[in-house]
Amino acid sequence: MFNLFKKNNTFPKETEPGNIYINDDLLFYEDHTHVESVDLSLLKYAYVEVLGENPYLFLFDYRQHYVPVHQQGFSKTYPLLSKRFGFDDILFFKTIAGKKEEKHRIWISKRAENYKISEERYADYGDGFEVQCATPLFVSWDTTYEEFLKLNIGHLYQSEFETSYFKIDYPVRIGSLQVDILEFYYDKNERQNIGVQSYFATLYAESNTDKSYYDLRKLWLEEIPVTIDDAGYEREDQKYLTFDLGGIGLSICYTYDVEGQYDEGGTSLMINNHRDYAATILSGDLELNPETTQILQFDTLLDFQPDYKNNANVIARPNLLKGKTKHRPAVWLADDNTFGFTGDQHAILFDHEDVSQIIVQNVLPAKGGGYVELFVRLKSEDLVTIYYGEQQVLDRYVQPLQELLEIEIEMPEPYYNC
């Protein structure tokens, strides 16, 4: 392999500034003067790609990296990578010798098959899944985040992007399908007393091809009858099917090599919970003193934006507001230094001490229509969207709102909806 590099002098001149090199398991390169790194211990696949006549080594660890072939140090680094991973050197050099835009996969990490279809058939898809621990445990789709953490069947971990996930430590049976891995996104600041909203896994056949997709497709079309036209789409670039099980959506997706997309050899499995828990979660009433609670009513149509499923501060609309403002949106200030905004059915509650600012942003019509949005900025820097309405309908409420809440209200310069 190394003789091939020397004999044919196949590397182009390194005309781009920068420095490509490897230190332990990290490959360093420069992207627009910024030093970037690839974690080689996590490398999933590699491509050779020509973009605008410029050749790149495309690497994916947990994000995309375009390593310029013309950057200084590439000719010394590529042989080390190829020796370690076994790149397809013939295809690599053939591709970079041309100038037409194209891409080819030159290596993929081989994944062990991580699913199987049970010989015994089950019809409990709509109820939940069974964790294959020493004593199998059946978990309902309605199991909440706070309940799930007490089951002692998995662990929390942080991704490379510092996002938290919960991973089940045992194989899981979903109907007649058994998967070796299943996990979900977890945020301790979001609502905990609601059924887990989304589970996911990537499933690999032994061949690391779309066989995984077709295996699941065959199984679920047999056990959950649905026509392809109603379930999704199957195109040359991507295949996607979804199956509805009484508010629980099972979906599978396989992506092929096309412009802007890469075939990683696995089928994405998603399980989404669309069930409505509002009646049970938001059943209580926030008691407000009618003598001391101050109310400002908005005599205009406003769409209430907060979603009770991912914001624990969303509550049932207080009875006092129902009586005072009927179906009109409003803001209230209570004597305990809390305040809130109401929609048609729900409301959102804030502690005055947690809020730094309220923003009213008008957007002018251009390619899109004009509108206004009201945001609450927390001291944590999180921005919560409260209302969406017609352009400038909130302008006359800015001063009375500021006087009521005694919180700074910012009205940035309107911009065009281009």
pLDDT digits (tens, 9 = 90+) for 303-329: 999 999 989 999 999 999 999 998 899
User: Chain-wide mean pLDDT for the chain?
Assistant: 93
DSSP β-ladder status, 330-333 and 338-342: antiparallel
pLDDT at 263 over 50: yes
50 forms bridges with which residues in the sheet? 55, 102
Query: Does the pLDDT of residue 271 top 80, yes or no?
Result: yes
Mind listing the pLDDT tens digit for each residue in 204-220?
Answer: 999 999 999 999 999 99
What pLDDT is stored for residue 237 in this prediction? 92
Question: pTM of the full predicted structure?
Answer: 0.82
Q: What is the mean pLDDT of residues 234-261?
A: 90
C-alpha span between 391 and 322 (Å, rounded): 26
pLDDT level of residue 1 (50, 70, 90 thresholds): very low
404 within 8 A of 333, measured Cβ to Cβ: yes
CB 172 within 8 A of CB 131: yes
Q: 8 falls in which pLDDT band (50, 70, 90)?
A: low
- Yes or no: say if 146 and 192 are a contact pair by the CB < 8 Å rule: yes
pLDDT at position 98: 84
Q: For residue 279, what pLDDT band results from cuts at 50, 70 and 90?
A: confident
Instruction: Kindly write down the DSSP assignment for every residue of 125-159, as one continuous string.
Output: TTTEEEE-SSS-EEEETT-BHHHHTTS-SEEEEE-
Residues 6+ apart with CB under 8 A from 17: 30, 71, 72
Place of tokens 């509805």: 244
Name the band, by pLDDT with cuts 50, 70 and 90, for residue 227: low
User: For the chain, percent helix, then strand, then coil, each to nearest 5?
Assistant: 20, 40, 45
Identify which has the larger pLDDT, 235 or 261: 235
Say which CATH class 280-416 falls into: mainly beta
At 2, the pLDDT band (50, 70, 90 cuts) reads very low
Neighbours of 80 (CB within 10 A): 13
- The answer, yes or no, to whether residue 72 has pLDDT greater than 70, is yes
Domain boundaries, the chain: 2-108, 115-273, 280-416
Q: What is the mean pLDDT of residues 109-117?
A: 95
